[in-house]
Structures are given as C-alpha cells and as structure tokens.
Amino acid sequence: MPLDWLLILVALAVLYAAGKAVVRVVRRRGRSRWENADSEQWFRSLFEDSPMACHEIDRTGQVRRVNSRECGLRGMTATEMLERHCTDLVPEPERDRYWESVRQKLNEDLALVPYQRTFRHPDGRMVTL
C-alpha cells in the first residue's frame, strides 16, 4: 500500500475516533460546548480542516455547523446549509430512514460508523460524500 494511502487511512481512523468522542460529549451534555478552551480549539480545527465532508447537527436535526469540504462537494454555501434540517440534505426517498438512524444514534441505540451517501450536485453530477 503506498504511503499516501496509508497516511490517509490513519487520518480517517483518527477523525472517526475523534468524531465518536464529539458525539459522546454532545449526547452527554445535550449541546456542543467544551469545558476546556484548548479542546474546543482542537476540535474546531479538526472539523474545519478535515479532508472529509462534515456537518454538525443539534438534537432537533438542525444543521449548526458545516465545513468547507462539505459545502464545496454539495455546491452550497455555509449559509445555505445552516438554514436546513439535516433531512433536507438527503434524497427524498431516504429521508425517513435517515432521520430514524440519526435519532437512534443520538439516543445511543445505534453504533456510530462511517458511511457514504450519493447526492445529486446542483450542477447535475452525482457526488458521493
């Protein structure tokens, strides 16, 4: 396996582990606030600088934060994304199933695992996130 791919896989594993930690904290506190300013800055930069498309939702499903990678892949601005419910970002036929999985994850009834979805970009091409 080339070194570049190995580094990418390691980075993805770290991001996945960090993401699980963030979700646990959000679940425990009911909101995404950190007690320690250093931790907050670390998580913020991890989220913003991630090569992976990421968005953060609150317990009601409202998008509260989105990174530039996801905005670019979706062909939307952060402002456009922040005005939406998370189900608005999923193709119509998948919305009910998606929202149920989100609720189960927030209630800790479903394990957090990486996933991919395919969306139609505003320019018509299909994009996998």
Q: What is the CATH number of the domain that holds 27?
A: 3.30.450.20
Query: How many domains would you assign to the chain?
Result: 1
pLDDT of residue 2: 46
| Two structure tokens written together for 56 | 């953060």
17 DSSP assignment: H
What pLDDT tens digit does each residue of the chain (129 aa) get? 444 444 455 455 555 555 555 555 555 555 445 455 667 777 778 888 888 888 888 989 999 999 998 898 889 999 999 989 999 988 888 899 989 988 998 888 988 777 777 877 888 888 887
Query: Residues 31-60: pLDDT tens digits?
Result: 445 455 667 777 778 888 888 888 888 989
Neighbours of 67 (CB within 10 A): 20
Name, in order, each residue with C-beta under 8 angstroms of 62's C-beta and a sequence gap of 6 or more: 84, 85, 86
52 DSSP assignment: S
Question: What's the predicted TM-score (pTM) here?
Answer: 0.63
Provide the residue type at 129 as one letter. Answer: L
For residue 61, give its domain range. Answer: 3-128
Residue 7: strand, helix, or coil:
helix
